[in-house]
Amino acid sequence: MNGGPNYDPLLVNVTSPTKNQVYNNSTIMQLNFTVTKPAVWFTWSFYEIWDIYYGQGNVTFIRYSIDGKPSVTIPAKDNGTGLSYNPIPNTLDYSLTMQGLSQGLHTISVSAEGVYYYWTTVKNSNVVVGNSSQIDFYINNYTPPEILNLSTSNETYQINSVPLNFTVNEPTSWIGYSLDGKANVTIGGNKP
């Protein structure tokens, strides 16, 4: 590692919900994300010919915010690192339940901050490093209209023409029917 300590940031990756995805009829969702510590947070090397460099880092906090509301801080779950050729896992996984999401566009922002410590035979220091990830997704809580007062029933009719009468509980953009699994037939509007 030439030039001394490297201050690579944490990597925050939101895996669910998916960016720009539309979720139907969902007011409760999982927020899943990972925070990855850079490999340089688990290193040691010769800084200069006479100086040994050692570095390690810990995630100190995680915050998330939904739709610009105040951030919520959650435990970082980082038990620290030690100097090792097989360091403690550098990816931390998180899963949270989000409730009460209304219909429409939502924005989630997840941020993580950590402290990167480094020691040399000449000096000791630390630096705070952070990063964040933001995604947009949509909730569509659309419920289709109800068909009420349907005049036909599930039976065999002995006539060639059966009246089709019904009502719907809200305005619609299209109405149609399918008979015996054949192609849809559009109904042009109210008919006497």
Looking at the whole model, is its pTM more than 0.75?
no
The answer to whether 140 and 164 have CB atoms below 8 angstroms apart is no
pLDDT at 87 over 60: no
Q: Which DSSP symbol is given to 40?
A: G
Spans of all domains in the chain: 11-140
Predicted confidence band of residue 88 (pLDDT cuts 50, 70, 90): low
d(CA 64, CA 72) in angstroms, rounded, equals 5
Q: How far is CA 85 from CA 12, 82, 89, 123, 170, in A?
A: 24, 9, 11, 24, 65
**Coil, strand, or helix at residue 41?**
helix
Predicted confidence at residue 84, as pLDDT, reads: 43
Predicted confidence band of residue 85 (pLDDT cuts 50, 70, 90)? very low
For residue 82, what pLDDT band results from cuts at 50, 70 and 90? very low
The superfamily (CATH) of domain 11-140 is Immunoglobulins (2.60.40.10)
Q: How far apart are CA 103 and CA 25, in angstroms?
A: 9
| pLDDT tens-digit readout, 21-47 | 888 767 778 999 999 888 767 666 555
Higher pLDDT among residues 61 and 55, named by residue: 61
What is the distance between the terminal CA atoms of the chain, rounded to a whole angstrom?
84
- Ramachandran category for residue 189: left, alpha or beta (phi over 0 → left; psi -120 to 50 → alpha): left
What whole-number percentage of the chain has pLDDT above 90? 19
4: confidence class by pLDDT, cuts 50, 70, 90: low
Environment class of 63 (CB within 10 Å of its CB; exposed 0-12, middle 13-18, buried 19+): middle
User: 73-77, 119-123, 140-144: which range is least confident on average?
Assistant: 119-123
Q: Tell me what pLDDT residue 1 has.
A: 40
Write out the two tokens for 20. 């720009």
DSSP 8-state code for residue 69: P
